[in-house]
Homo-oligomer: A and B are copies of this chain.
């Protein structure tokens, strides 16, 4: 499949429903946002599909210049931050459906395996923290508060050189 990159969005053209694979990427696997004649993927989603051999990414121009994985990786590193991709990949590989958590001030929202985004609330908000940074107590309170308000659990993902450590945090009255 071919996707075209502009501005951290990779677009897959769908002409008269002929591109069934792209439609199924959205309807079965919950990737991207489906428009009338286009499936739009975030660069993180697109790179995940690229690394799994399911998508070729081209520079958005009339040229047919196919991009190298290392080139796309660098765009992610310079923009979203590579930690975001590492956590995305890890959770995707575990079977979660992953949507942006932007509206809630977090990186992702997460739906349990087998549950589709249309069927109900997401279960988790995912907040990514780097191991070298301190966590501001007020920010911490804010992440948990937002999650609690929308009946989700907060998952703090701390990324270090090797691995991701996850912490589930809930506001409680003991």
Contacts and interface: CB of A to CB of B under 8 A. Distances in A.
Interface string A67-82: 0011001100111111
Interface residues of A, number: 77
Q: Summarize A's interface: helix, strand, loop or mixed.
A: mixed
A63 to B, nearest CB: 12
Contacts of A70: 11, 13, 37-38
A65 B91 CA distance: 35
Given A137-B133, A149-B146, A174-B94, A165 B38 contact: no
A168 B163 contact: no
A160 B32 CA distance: 11
Contacts of A7: 77, 81-83
